[in-house]
Copies of this chain bind each other. A is one copy, B any other.
Amino acid sequence: MARREEILGAALQCFHELGYEGTTVADIKARAKVSTGSLYHHFTSKEQLFAELYLDSIRETQATSLRALRRAKSSEQGVRALVASYLRWVHREPEKAAFLLTMRRAEFMEEVEEELEAMNQELRTTLAEWIDQHVRTGELPLARTDLLMALLVGPSEDFARRWLRGRTTTSLREAAELLGEAAWNALRALAKHSEP
């Protein structure tokens, strides 16, 4: 039990710092202070270890987003909550956040593609429903998902990247507040443009 967690933690850091190809099984062993055999007793391969971390991280952020979305009573609340909950998760799990933000999804992940797809599907569906609901009232823009997502997600992710690299002065709390408001304004404005 403990060993498994130690290995996962070590791997998370290594993958984040050095990338998938860049981290050596030896790196992970060293950081986790585990023998080769022990590592392979708990995980069948470097790939599998990576996949487990990747899925876990994705699962977490998505759960966070979904929870935020479901609680929201209005579209404004929803937008602000998405931004805020994401940045709170970054604060809580900086390593996983950094991991997801830097990691390219490798081809071999196709093995767990199913679960990934299912997870993405759930998020997308919920998001789509939620958007639809507010598009009908004219509060959110019509059929511009790409721009909508860029405005909703882009600034938070960019800020998170800077924060994780220690290149920020503003706190995450404050950023959440201000970026949430900015997102809401941007989406409202976009909605206006999309009117007939």
CB distance from A150 to the nearest CB of B (A): 4
Give a binary string over A153-196; 1 marks a CB under 8 Å from any B CB, 0 the rest.
11111110011000111100001001101100110011001000
CB distance from A152 to the nearest CB of B (A): 9
| CB-defined contacts of A158 to chain B, threshold 8 Å | 149-150, 153-154, 157-158
Tally of this chain's copies: 4
Q: How large is the interface on A (under 10, 10 to 19, 20 to 34, 35 or more residues)?
A: 35 or more
| CB-defined contacts of A4 to chain B, threshold 8 Å | none
Main secondary structure of the interface of A (DSSP, over half): helix
| CB-defined contacts of A168 to chain B, threshold 8 Å | 146
CB distance from A3 to the nearest CB of B (A): 17
| CB-defined contacts of A162 to chain B, threshold 8 Å | 146, 149-150
- In the complex where A19-B19, A178-B193, A186-B186 touch, is A154 in contact with B147 (Cβ < 8 A)? no
Chain A contacts to B: CB under 8 angstroms = 19-22, 102, 104, 143-147, 149-151, 153-159, 162-163, 167-170, 175, 178-179, 181-182, 185-186, 189-190, 193
User: Given known contacts A20-B21, A21-B22, A150-B159, what 19 new A-B pairs fall within 8 Å (CB)?
Assistant: A19-B20, A19-B21, A20-B22, A21-B21, A146-B159, A146-B167, A146-B168, A146-B169, A147-B175, A150-B175, A150-B179, A154-B158, A154-B159, A181-B189, A182-B189, A182-B190, A185-B185, A185-B189, A186-B186
